[in-house]
Amino acid sequence: MFFYKNNPSMKGINPAEVIREGLAKTLVYYYPFAGRIMEGDNRKLMVDCNGEGVLFVEADACIMLEQLGDNILPPCPLIEEFLHDVPGTGGIIGCPLLLIQVTRFICGGFALGIRMNHTMADGYGMMQFLSSISELMKGASAPSISPVWQREQYLNARSPARITCIHHEYEQIPQSTDFMDSDKLFRTAIFFTPKVIQALYNHLSLSGSSQRCSRFDLVIACLWKCRTNALNPSNPDETVRLSVITNLRGKPGLNIPTGYYGNAFVYPAAVSTAGILCTAPLSYAVQLIQNAKAQMSEEYIKSVADLIVIKNRPKYATGWNFIVSDITRLGFEKIDLGWGNAVYGGVASATSNISFCTNFKNSKGEDGVVVPICLPPLAVEKFKYELEKITCEPLCRM
């Protein structure tokens, strides 16, 4: 979801019309998006570049953008209005790969909603695609970064395929209870202000840890620990995991070109027993996450590609596996379609066990991180309690 304020310099210009024109020009270069996914032998996915096109919805809302307040943040409660779920189009196979909706507000601002078939591209690929739309809308004759598709050239499995590493992220472990029923989950988000993030760093120091870590590692370590505590595992020896979605671009030995827009990520998993994770200091979770990310060698990446072929495209583990992606560096909020930067640009909501870290500046002008998350209703208060216990700060958006 992207939300844009009124820009007086764009008076009289219909955002839906110019975005649709920019989209049409961009699809000439990103033509696979206008096709449909097919499934072949061994569950192998392919794109039929049949030019059937994408879905584009134009709408009007009789409200001002300012009236939405924090409702532009995930979980956006109006997502069904801002991104109409066209019946029969939400599948993976044989359905449109993109659904785009422009909703105009009476103040002159608008919302841009996008649903993408994730088998086609990742966050970097979508950012590249949107940047191309922006450039072609503004008169460029071609995208500044030429799109590259040949995924079979860069990320194919070896011949013969062979699994040479341990992949906890695909290991299906039976869980004692099914607590993440997607139909019954409470969707919320947490805004980590600079003050809260500093409190987490202070927490590391107070525990005697001298380790250095990124803001992302620190935030997700906190969330993993608090989420596990809130879900209250009945068995302290239950195996719990946190999978870190990690970009492959720029990794030695892969030579993925700049314009590649297909999926190029893996998600190595940090593993612990629930009892130790819940009782150990925050530094313990941070160290596990850093260790998981450190294992992502060229051999590990090739082993993942081989595993997907050998096991016929298995699904990632869901039982006690919390998956988190850092999209703060993608710059979705900086996508300028002529109306300036977005007030908010990023994911609209979390899914049952997948969360995202995205940028946001609050009404006080504080630059922080928003993380949407899903929890069973009975775990929400416990989760809030655990977070505030670690940070010693009241948290926003709970």
Among all residues, which ones are annotated catalytic?
Answer: 118, 336
DSSP state of 169: G
Peptide bond into 160 cis (omega under 30): yes
> Which residues make beta-bridge pairs with 171?
none
E strand or H helix that includes residue 303: helix 298-310
For residues 285 and 205, what is the distance between their CA atoms, to the nearest angstrom? 14
Q: Which residue from 240, 190, 176, 198 is spatially nearest to 383, judged by alpha carbons?
A: 190
**Integer angstrom CA distances of residue 12 from 17, 121, 209, 290, 338:** 11, 34, 58, 51, 13
Q: Give the pair of three-digit tokens for residue 351.
A: 């899914």
Q: Give the pair of three-digit tokens for residue 195.
A: 């003050």
Q: Strand locations in 185-298, DSSP E?
A: 186-192, 239-247, 265-266, 269-273
| Cβ density class 51-87: b for 16+ within 10 Å, e for less | eeebebeebebeeebeebeeebbbbbebbeebbbeee
For residues 257 and 116, what is the distance between their CA atoms, to the nearest angstrom? 22
* Exposed / middle / buried, residue 389 (Cβ in 10 Å: 0-12, 13-18, 19+): exposed
